[in-house]
Structure 1
Amino acid sequence: MLIEEDFKAIYLNYKIKEIVPFLKKLTPKDKKEVAVVLKKRINKEWGHNTISVLAALACCTTKEEFGKLSPGYYSLPIELIEELFESYVPVWVGESYPFLSEVDYLKVLEWEQRGYFRLNDEISASLLSSSLLPADQLDSYPVILDSHIWFLFEYECSVTARSRDVNWKDTLKILVQNNKIDRFKVLQSSLKAVNLNFSKEHNTWFLELFTSLEPSGHEIVDLQEELFLIFHSTQSSLFPGVLKIIHPVITEKKIKTEEFLQAVAPLATLSTKNIINPLLQSFEKIAGIHTSYSEKICLLVMPVFLNKDKSVQVKGAKIIAKYGDFKSEKLGEELKLYSGSLLSDASILLEQFVVKKETENTIGKSKESVSWYTPEVILPIDTVDDFIFFAPRIFNHHESYYSDLFLDALIRFNDKFDEEHFNQLEPAFKAALALKDTPGLHHLWATFFINYGLLKQKKKSNILSEARLAFPDLDNWVQKRTPLIFKGFHKLLSGVFEFLKQDNNLPLLSVPDYTPCWITIQNLVDKLVVYQQKKEQPIPFDLQIALLRTRKENLAEAEKYAKEKLSEEYVDLLKPVFEANYFKDHYQNVYLNGSFKWDFSYRKIHKWDRTEEIPQIVIQMENRKELPKNADFLDHLFNSFHHVSDDDLIYILYATPYFSGSVFGKKYNETLSNSIYQYDIKGNVRFFDAWMKLNVPFQPVHYLFLSAGLFNKGRTFSGMAFEALVNRAVSEDFEVQTLGKLIGNKIGFEWAPVKRFTDGLSDLINLSIHHNHVFEKLLIAILSAVEKPVFNLKKLLELYNELITLNQSEADKTIFDQLDEWGKQNNLKKTIHQIKTNERKTI
């Protein structure tokens, strides 16, 4: 306790002159006692000062312990520390970078020379790099230039740092110029540092250092193996620089050509032009000098034909055409593997290398689209035990038809449930209770089920008693701000609830027969027969949803079947299915066919220092806030349902599969109206996939949604959109001109970068002959809608040129006026001339 009191007296009275003598006389036991005091007091009662730092330095037994107690001062009491070190130096000091980094680097070297500690190599590199000493101070101690400076190349440190006047790149160059350090060793060490692959910044810095020293051809040849090794790096941005360094000496006698070719072989598969172009230049230079490598180089060039850039393919084809032997079976066989991806100009250059087959053999000729989704039969829940097992799933599973099966089974088994069954349903009630704070349809299902349990269970369980306080009565679920579409589903559930109260076990009409949501007219008729026999009327919203989900197939035969089974009164219930204009007489066409108007405009985005205007397309949709009491389900659908979750949106979509335009319109406006700020990409992917599973005709608003996907920067959504284009493009009801005009308008308004679209479409060329012709029509429609030259218009024109070449078509005369106007621009003249004259490049 005496030691503690003495230390407190020194600290609290700030007796700075007494602290070092006090610390010098402490025994190891005393130091532990002082360390305990520091741990108790520092950062709680006491603040840091010079005394606490010196005490921590003397009394901590590890660098980790010191790190916790030391504040990391910018300026340490160096003179007092030196006084302490004269009699005691902690064994861990030489390994503590946080401590040593607060000391001047030259002072640290002075301490090391005095024998206070020994620095390890990595700490030496870190201390030197962060010191940023100018070149004229680096010979203060021989150890700096003899060893420490070379550690900068071996360890990850702050060598890339710079101050206003000093940076290591300039410093090392000065040392080399003044012959203070070996030039060749710097060059070699720089390349070895790159191959350590610490970080992108680190690697780039050392390659720039190497280049800045302007290595001679002789030096590059001597260091070729280190340069070749960089091609194995994961950082492809290094490759252009290395290719540029090697290119001038690539045909020198001492260059190991075989090793170079082996190192760069994978680069031909990359898509980046600033890598491919210098690589092809090197290949051509080698092939021109060393004829023995001609065939190997031709084989290495082949992967560039997977690249959809025409200029890249042409450069590769020219190398093969010039240096390859067209009689070589090896080259011919290898080229066959790439025949499906060869663009027309490259194909013409290489025609003597490949034995032509019928076009139908090389390009798929199927006109039929592959099915996006195969529907499956939905089987009802057979027994009460199955229902008990199934019930919890509707509250945590996303299959939309689960809630329909749940309601159907509840009605059928309602009069069979006893008290024990309700006890067994407790997991389902728990799952429902867990949704007490969630919005949307899941909360509606939970409210319905909780209210059902409260209605039927005689002795209320603890779960239901708790749920009674957490959920409203079903009648009171609807609030003023509840979206109208939710109110529609609420009316359905209210009708089902009345059935359950009355022990009415008539079949639920809106339960799908097969996925994702379809009802067959025959099954619907058979269910209505039961209602007819009992002289009952269906729940209005149950019937309406059932009619909306009914698949419109073989309607003449289905109507005949209905008239055989049902009286005129019940056949009349099916008018919405059998009468083609039924809905047209009741609702505006714009909602039925999704032909909403949309406007191009600019959206202002306010940032902290500026306001940005971005182009957008917004769909015009009017909604009523209130509906009459006799409003039908479609009235609820066609009006407001903002802020609906993705799962709920899919359920809404599957309730009205033929009239999804308003659903798409709301989703588009909220998440896809502009190409810069697009939201909820995962939700859009799920929603779009759910819609494609329906396999129903596109409406105008669907083309708008698809076009947003084709331009989307998210690869998943973009990939799905192009997959949908491939799937539907060959369908007879797909209006490719509508999509093309819309895309052209977006491009003309500069709504999104052209390259996003052209990159995706390029990958789809040659899927089939029919696809090629459809894509040609798509490009004509796009180009006809582009009124002025835009950035990357050349890519669109090159794509069109490629398609008319493959399809052996003439350029469409409807776009000649635009081509003439665009042809005034130098960068477009050549491509437009090819389009209008069908001229193709030849050797």
Structure 2
Amino acid sequence: MELDHKKKYSEIIELGNGEQLVSFFKKLNAEDRRALIPSIKQDIKRLYTTRELSRRIWGYAGTREQLNMLSIAMFVCYGKADRKLIKPHLLPADKQIDNILSWYQPEWFNQYVNELSNQEYIPIQYESLADWIAKGYLLDVVPELIAQKMVLDVSCLEKYPFILDKHIWFIFQYPNTISWSDYWSPKENKPIDADDRKWIYIFKKIINNKLINRMQVLKECLLSVNRNFDKNQTNWYADLFVALEPTVEECIHLQNELFSVFHCPQSKPINVALSMIKKINAQPKFSAGEFIAYMPLLLSYETKGIVNNTLMIADSLAKRSPELADDIAVLLPNTFLSKDQSLQTKAAKLIVKYANPADQNLIANICDYIDNLLMDTRLLLKDFLEIPAVVAESSVYKEKERIRIELIREDNRIPEISTWDDFVFLLGQVFFNAEPYHFDQLPTYLLQFSGQINEDTVQQLEPAFLQAYKTIDIWNSTIGFLDRISAAFFLEYGRRLIERYPEQTRNLQKLADKYKHITFSPENWKTSKMEKYIPYMDIFSYVLEQLSNNSRLPLLSTPTHLPCFIDPMVLAERLYLYQQQNVEPSSFDLQLALQRCALDADLDKLKPVLKTLKGDAPLLLSYLLSGDAGCLDKAANKDWKLAAVITRYSYSPDETAFNMGCSLLETNNIPIELMTQILPWQINCRKQNVSILNNESKDIFTKKLRIDIADYSLKVDSPLFYQYMCASYSYSSFEWSADNRRRIFSCPYVPDIILRRFISSKFECSDIKEVKAISEVLQTIYQLPFPLTDTSYLLIALSMLHGDKTIRTLAGEIWIDKLGQYSPVNNQLIGDIIGTLEKEEWAPLKRFTDLASQTLVGVNPDQNKALEVIVSNILSHLSETNIANYKKLVMLHDDLKARIQ
């Protein structure tokens, strides 16, 4: 009998339709249906296989009707254990499910429906959910699912009493897309009296028809803004509240809820609440004391509208209730957190208007913000300020001592891996980008601990191999090409372990089978057209060769101190080990070590170790630490010699090194930009006539940053590491933003060769929204304890005008940090760059003025002097231009000059 059922099922799948299959299933008992599960799974695998249907057109092997029948079969025959195999897109249509539920309800159906709330795609419509709840097919549907589906359908709101009695309130209590669903689709019949906001119209209608409680809707609008929903959903509740036009009486009744809105992370609901409070603060029942308690919070917000509305209400309360004036005035100095001129002026005038100049608490509060006060504000508050104390503070200020940061210190030492457990822990982190130096540690510590990997320990490496496969298989912005190279290297070592320990590595073999579609490996690295990564590929290939030779020698280039530097003493000791074992180091590995060598070390302390070395090694290290070009006279390897010259010249420029470097570069046909910091750039404006509506047209002006970079093509077998940093790359060798930090840390003394192309790519237009990659590079520059170069000055200036506030703030922090370092900052150049950019209206000037007034002003006199130089040089470029916020820049300049005087 079972064979007959399978045969009948197969016949229907091949030649029948859904109705025939449902009729067939109705005749079977539960046991017979379960017996068909293996056949159904085979058909799913067979019919859901992708194949080429015709030339360049792909689809499933099964017909639409066959796939529909498989959905029905899974729904009717699968048990509780198999339900997870029914992906949302494999469910039958709602009508088919409704038909089946009339004669069979799977025991797992209610739980399955609830689990859909965690899926991105939910195929079931809200009306179907409501029907099944009404019919008793679903007994307990989670409110999260109802909220998500209900906002997509307004057609059945009055179909069942529980919809408006219970379900509609879930819209206010759980995440949903109501802000995106608040419009009429072309297929819907939009009522004549409706506006464009569909759901707001619906709420007005059902409230007017007395179908739901108006006061409850108003209350839920206010409570919902603090339920951690996204910005759009949160702001929608504020829109609904305003659209319902609450009366004064209703707002008085909802005072507590209005006050609770002040904790909302979005500014729009707060401003809505404040606008309502402006209407009711004169009412006898208004809780003025509770509002005053919220003033410190409200005045601390960065949004100007919130602070301005709060000051207006404070003025109204103080005027109407003089007994509250002192309580209000003592809180007003919180406004001075903001460096906005209009807000400070308004708050200062209120203090003068209502406060007692002898109030010591108020004076103390104002003095807490003394560094933030603009000059106009200081003049208004002259009766409240202890001017002599302020003058004394300025007069005794001592210029901050500039600090020369040593590269090799105990506090920046990178911890060494000395035990097997530490090594396994490192493998668990290396593919998660926890630290940039993990990339360098993997090959060197694999060499060190490879002797301890055996049949007893190899299984401990399985989690790391799984993560390596995922690193190559998954594409996202946090994974760079260097991560993929590192993972491919590790997996190649894993393949060798599988051959060596077949019994103990069965799980590794299963992983290899699962990810057999991954073809990226050391065998095809250099055909990947990723030219700039070839030095890294070469180093990893060298390590694989050393592993085959059972070598335990460490890589020369593994950094010893943060962020990427190598102690010259450690480097010399590593070179000694190589010479003792008569092993030739990787040329790229040695060059990378030279590029990372800490050049501020004491050569005298290193001389005893250098005497134990032979060949080029002692000559190269002696030159790097002393700058004596004579050390290189006997150096034989020209690539190592050139790497040393470029590195040393970038650290401490001198004419001899420059001439020597240029000569070597010319011999190798490499552009001179490796030895110079000159960076020609300009803004190109292009006018384009674009057609618009009504056969009209208008001129569109586009501005692009152009940097003059040498067009240098690279040969795959080029022997110089630095060449790969500055060459022009093929189209396929695009920018992997996750690699920028490691690439800059590969040439920490010469970051310009990477920054030039980075700026050219990421700042080509002022409206490019790139944030993550720019943030990564700025943080990298922040970590390098070196003076800013012409290229990094350009990067800082462009970042100060970037559209993202985080980028602007980070650029400001770098500027502040560099001011305190040993080498002076060229503030005139920063001002000239920003002035040149703004003369061409590159970006809104407000971005810089806001950054300067909110973050850069007033920290100390030295900083104010430096900022005044920047602003002065910006103004020198803008005197003949008509640009928005020019007046604010002038006011900022006047304020800085007054502070300095």
What TM-score range do you get, normalising by the shorter chain? 0.5 to 0.7
Residue in 2 that maps onto 1:724:
814
Q: Are the structure 2 counterparts of residues 526 and 325 from structure 1 closer, same or farther at C-alpha, using a change threshold of 3 Å?
A: same
Equivalents in 2 of 1:202, 1:536: separation in Å?
71
| Equivalent runs, 1:329-344 vs 2, <5 Å | 329-344=360-375
Alignment pair present for 1:376 and 2:412: yes
Q: Residue 565 of structure 2 contacts residue 597 of structure 2 at CA under 8 Å; is this kept in 1?
A: yes
Counterparts in 2 of 1:721 and 1:607: CA distance versus 1, 3 Å: farther
Q: CA deviation at 1:313?
A: 0.6
- Structure 1, residues 62-99: CA drift from partner, whole Å, max 9, x if none? xx99x99999999xxxxxxxxxxxxxx9999xxx999x
Corresponding residue of 2:380: 349
Name the structure 2 match of 1:48. Answer: none
Cα distance in 2 for partners of 1:499, 1:56 equals 66
Partner of 1:367: 400
Tell me, yes or no, if structure 1 residue 697 matches structure 2 residue 799: no
CA–CA distance in 1 between the matches of 2:155 and 2:467?
58
Query: Residue 674 of structure 2 aligns with which residue?
Result: 591
1:659 alignment partner, SS class: coil
Q: What secondary structure sits across from 1:586 in the alignment?
A: helix
How much identity, in percent, do the aligned residues show?
22
Query: For the residues of structure 2 that align with 1:615 and 1:703, how far apart are their CA atoms?
Result: 20
Aligned residue type for 1:402: H
Structure with greater contact order relative to length (CA < 8 Å, sep ≥ 6): 1
Matched, 1:774 2:866: yes
Amino acid at match of 1:600: I
Aligned in 2, Cα 1:257/1:126: closer, same or farther, shift over 3 Å? Answer: closer
Alignment match, 1:444? 485
* Aligned residue in 1 for 2:205: none
Matches of 1:488 and 1:422, distance apart in 2: 32
Contact 1:454 1:460 in 2 (8 A): no
Q: Superposed, which structure 2 residues align to 1:87-486 within 5 Å? A: 122=164, 165-166=192-193, 195=222, 200-201=235-236, 203-204=238-239, 206-207=241-242, 210=245, 224=252, 226=254, 230-233=258-261, 234=264, 236-237=267-268, 258=289, 261=292, 266-288=297-319, 290-356=321-387, 357-359=389-391, 361=393, 367=400, 376-382=412-418, 387=423, 390=426, 393-411=429-447, 420=455, 423=458, 427=462, 432=468, 437=473, 440-449=481-490, 459=500, 461=502, 474=522, 476-486=523-533
Partners of 1:606 and 1:480 in 2: CA distance: 44
Which residue of 707, 711, 732 maps to 2:797?
707
- Cα RMSD, aligned residues only: 5.8
1:648 matched to which residue of 2?
739
Name which of structure 1's ranges 681-690 and 490-499 shifts more when overlaid on structure 2. 490-499
Residues matched between the structures, number: 696
Amino acid at match of 2:339: K
Separation in 2 of the partners of 1:716 and 1:780? 25
Matched, 1:638 2:726: yes
TM-aligned CA deviation for residue 696 of structure 1: 1.8
The 2-side partners of 1:372 and 1:798 are apart by 40
Q: Is the 8 A contact 1:369 1:726 kept in 2?
A: no
Instruction: State the 1:310 CA deviation.
Output: 0.9
Mark the runs of 5 or more structure 1 residues left unpaired by the alignment: 1-39, 46-50, 75-88, 109-117, 128-155, 170-180, 809-843
Distance verdict in 2 for CA 1:806–1:584, change over 3 Å: farther
Greater shift in the superposed pair: 367-376 or 308-317? 367-376
User: Which of 665, 681, 684 in structure 2 is aligned with 1:601?
Assistant: 684
Looking at structure 2, the residues matched to 502 and 69 of structure 1 have their Cα atoms a distance apart, in angstroms, of: 58
Structure of higher CA gyration radius: 1
Distance 1:124 1:563 in 2: 82
Separation in 2 of the partners of 1:546 and 1:53?
A: 67
CA shift in 2, pair 1:361/1:631, >3 Å: same
Task: Please say if residues 447 and 472 of structure 1, whose CA atoms lie closer than 8 Å, have aligned partners that are also in contact.
Answer: yes
> Which residue matches 1:793?
886
Question: Quick one: which amino acid aligns to residue 230 of structure 1?
Answer: L
- The answer as to whether partners of 1:436 and 1:443 remain within 8 angstroms in 2 is yes
Structure 2 SS opposite 1:762: helix
Structure 2 SS opposite 1:740:
helix
Name the SS for the 2:330 alignment partner: helix
**1:620 is aligned to 2:704:** no
Counterpart in 2 of 1:21? none
Q: Residue 603 and residue 197 in structure 1: after superposition, are their counterparts in 2 closer, same or farther (change >3 A)?
A: farther
Structure 2 stretches lacking a partner, 5+ long: 1-67, 74-94, 114-121, 129-133, 170-178, 197-207, 226-233, 475-479, 630-653, 666-670, 694-698
Closer/same/farther in 2, CA of residues 615 and 91 from structure 1, 3 Å limit: same
Of 783-792 and 623-632, deviating more is 623-632
Relative to structure 1, is the Cα distance of residues 54 and 385 closer, same or farther in structure 2, using a 3 angstrom cutoff?
closer
What is the deviation of 1:164? 6.6
Cα 1:666–1:421 shift into 2, 3 Å: farther
Conserved in 2, the CA contact under 8 Å of 1:372 and 1:727? Answer: no
Q: Distance in 1 between matches of 2:525 and 2:734?
A: 16
The alpha-carbon distance between structure 1 residues 472 and 312, as it changes in their structure 2 partners (threshold 3 A), is closer
- Which residue is equivalent to 2:563? 516
* TM-score, normalisation: structure 1: 0.67
Change (3 A) 1:325 1:125: same
In the alignment, what sits opposite 2:834? 743
Cα distance in 1 for residues equivalent to 2:221 and 2:423: 64
Instruction: Please report the TM-score for the alignment, with normalisation by the length of structure 2.
Output: 0.63
One-letter amino acid matched to 2:873: A
The 5 Å alignment of 1:435-584 reads 437=473, 440-449=481-490, 459=500, 461=502, 474=522, 476-499=523-546, 508-530=555-577, 538-554=585-601, 557=604, 564-566=611-613, 570-574=617-621, 575=623, 578=627, 579=629, 580=654, 581=657, 582-584=660-662
Inter-CA distance 279–563: structure 2 relative to 1 (3 Å threshold): closer
Give the whole-Å Cα distance in 1 for the aligned partners of 2:490 and 2:224: 60
Aligned-pair distance for 1:309?
0.7
1:215-242: CA deviation from partner (whole Å, max 9, x where unpaired): 8xxxx59975656863442475466677
The change in CA–CA distance for 1:804 and 1:492 in structure 2 (over 3 A counts) is: same
